[in-house]
Structure 1
């Protein structure tokens, strides 16, 4: 919340956490694949003169321009359950440039960012799991795509910040600092938002034209609101055009004519500055965040047609009832619960997050997740971070009702959707500054919410899936 650096994600310093608020979680990882994660170190520090052989990086930094590269690769395998046994490799090169326009061009209080991705390989969720909470937050169709492109202006002695351009909501909104450790995508942009919003909302791999205003009345409070184009990829133009990533392969649709998406959030950080004579924190810091969103578009009922009949009824018109708008409310807490003696950056943090949406027009109406991370758990491994997290996404009454109607209308005992849940355990090993390896284990209950397995001719549900793998990250 403090300072004049750009307020979204990795541009933050050591004292700020994911989303730009004060760093109240001691268990944040060294670096993560999430767009909102904080990268605190670079391999450059280990390379000596070879880290900047021409001096270009230092020259640009002296003039207010900082560029960085973050290479991430996931190797993941479905060892049981899902739709088939297989393994995949997916990689992403994150290219980011930040400019302090005051130092560069004399534009006081202004900053600029452009960020793009090169994505390669195949995602395991698409290939073998068919879950709603995508196994890896890297997963996207292979492409070179623009993610963010914006200018931010600081005003009122840096208390007010206005950002305009192509922006991703998941870099600042709905961000848990502790949850940035985990690999599954739901611990970044939660399943309920990615499932219910058009094109998954303005979140990885999409940014959207937007304006974001953030107000920081004091060191403890922050208020922010963002107005985004409501469909980053645009609506499907044909029945065989369902994948938004195929409708916007480069991230350059720059749509402005869709019904808007509005999201607002307030955060209160506490105990992060209360220090004793020796400089150590006196109390355990934490952050409480509440927020909500409204989408101004129209949304189809999942159960009822425009005449009031069930869509499963043979006499149905086949045209779903339409609702005006869609909403979500959320709250979360990040809380440091233990610190190693005389160390502010080692110990345990927990997070809890809850999100709700109307059950008559959404597939998911309730989402919960929680987890714990511990940095420096093992002796002589003070930079390593270990964590366990769980999530639960409940299928809405309208979707469950449609399944029941379909069984009654057809007489076929097909699976009925109920919920999807998962457990993830991970350990991030810091091998050197800017170099990490992260083994990962996930167990997914009811992939897809308990849907039929498309590869099983008998129509049995997709079995619970066990996912094992590892991530490697190199930051420069």
Structure 2
């Protein structure tokens, strides 16, 4: 059995624009454990896993900025919850295929980008076109749902991922609890992603499609429609293959059904520079921008709504020790919440990451 723990602490201040000036401290404690059943009971390829999170200080964006994203990707209601609880079975000659069942985080496998993981704004973790969906969001932090996912290596460097999740994650009426409810009217969230992973210039190519089996209400008229969409992303390294290539890029484009979504298009671009100091501590600098288009349905149903919203983030992440990482951060939010009445916001912050060594027995 292996145990892991990490503590993330954010100090953010809205210096200008948005809803109002103000500061807040946010915190996230994550604890996870895995149990290798092959080693324990000789069940080949089977691993049990569980992870839980305790969050404090949520609501910074809602109180001070008014943006549609979340300035901090640990911004969540104060509560302790399970994020994932389930089993994974690796099968095939070398365990190249994988089946996961249980309470699952969709973003652990789908719409994942290593370069974009540097950034703190949640819009860079999973595209707004997908993260905005569902009655209580898709099965992602902080509220996950029962699901099953299948990862098949269909060819060298090619993986095909498919999953089905409960269409309503958790209980919308009790957002602070870990709740598993299965109702026929919830429907399912279905998602499929084809990936190409290499060690070349283009490290990862991904194309995903998703859709809900239960229809959602139109924003502007009577009736309903099934929300569905797609995304494509590419992560690359710049420079010759025989050189050290510290520059990394990421580009993502995604779309959702217009008549039931606040935002129907999103574009994300990121540029990172990864370096190591002479003592071997890793550092990463990055600048990223996310643009989301306001759907015509939202513009028709609400007043003083702008055509788009944009987040620009400049960040620097530095490992101080083997267990401590610091990350100063600056964000500029254009048209927060797509509301014309709100001025562009300037947000500054500092993140501390403390990672405990893995404990095994």
TM range, smaller chain: over 0.9
5+ residue gaps, structure 1, are: 1-64, 235-243, 273-282, 305-319, 404-413, 452-460
Aligned to 1:351: 250
Q: After superposition, what is the alpha-carbon deviation per residue over 1:121-153, rounded to whole angstroms, capped at 9, x for unaligned?
A: 233102211111110010000001011001011
Who is 1:96 aligned against? Answer: 32
> How is 1:187-266 mapped onto 2 (pairs within 5 angstroms)?
187-234=124-171, 244=172, 247-255=174-182, 257=184, 258-266=186-194
* Structure 2 counterparts to residues 263-274 of structure 1, below 5 A: 263-270=191-198, 272=199
1:326 to 2:227 alignment: yes
Say which structure is richer in strand: 2
For structure 2, which runs of at least 5 residues remain unmatched after alignment?
Answer: 357-361
1:288 to 187, 200, 205: 205
Runs of 4+ aligned residues of structure 1 deviating over 3 Å after TM superposition are 254-257, 338-343, 377-382
In terms of mean alpha carbon deviation, does 376-385 or 151-160 score higher?
376-385
Q: Is 1:302–1:398's contact at 8 Å kept on the other side of the alignment?
A: yes
Q: Quick one: distance in 2 between partners of 1:339 and 1:97?
A: 40
- In 2, the alpha carbon distance for the partners of 1:354 and 1:418 equals 17
CA contact (8 A) 2:170 2:179 kept: no
Report whether the alignment pairs 1:469 with 2:349.
Answer: yes
For residue 70 of structure 1, report the CA deviation from its aligned partner.
0.6
Separation in 1, partners of 2:351, 2:116: 16
Q: 1:108 to 1:380 in 2, by over 3 A?
A: closer
Q: Give SS of 2:257's match.
A: coil
TM-score, with length taken from structure 1: 0.71
With over 3 angstroms needed to count, the CA separation of the structure-2 counterparts of 1:365 and 1:216, relative to structure 1, is same
Choose which of 21, 40, 50 in structure 2 pairs with 1:85.
21
1:338 to 226, 239, 243: 239
8 Å contact 1:123–1:136 — kept in the other structure? no
Q: Report what 1:297 is aligned to.
A: 214
Question: 1:170, 1:160 → 2: CA distance?
Answer: 18
Q: Is the 8 A contact 2:129 2:265 kept in 1?
A: yes
**Other-structure match for 2:78:** 142
TM-score, reference length from structure 2: 0.93
Greater alpha carbon shift after TM alignment, 346-355 vs 436-445: 346-355
Q: SS at the partner of 1:84?
A: coil
Indicate whether 1:153 and 2:99 are aligned.
no
| Deviation for aligned residue 1:252 | 2.8
Match for residue 111 of structure 1? 47
Corresponding residue to 1:361 among 260, 263, 280 = 260
Shift of 1:436: 0.1
Change (3 A) 1:417 1:197: farther
Measured in 1, the distance between the counterparts of 2:189 and 2:129 equals 15
| Cα separation, 2, equivalents of 1:162 and 1:292 | 19
1:72 touches 1:474 (CA, 8 Å); kept in 2? yes
Aligned to 2:338: 449
Does the 8 Å contact 2:87/2:101 carry over to 1?
Answer: yes
Q: How many residues get paired?
A: 354
SS at 2:170's partner residue?
Answer: coil
Deviations 1:432-457 (A, max 9, x none): 11210000000000111125xxxxxx
Shift of 1:380: 6.1
Q: Which whole-Å CA distance do the structure 2 matches of 1:364 and 1:155 have between them?
A: 39
Q: Find 1:402's aligned residue among 301, 319, 332.
A: 301
CA distance in 1, matches of 2:156, 2:285: 29
Q: Deviations over 1:181-231 (max 9, x none)?
A: 000001112222222322111110011100101101344010010100011
Instruction: Give the conservation status (yes or no) of the 8 Å contact 1:288–1:334.
Output: yes
* Cα distance in 1 between the residues matched to 2:240 and 2:34: 33
- Structure 2 Cα separation of the partners of residues 232 and 210 of structure 1: 10
Distance across 1 between alignment mates of 2:127 and 2:182: 23
**2:117 alignment counterpart:** 180
Question: Residues 376 and 384 of structure 1 are in contact (CA less than 8 Å); yes or no, is this contact kept in structure 2?
Answer: yes
1:80 shift after superposition: 0.1
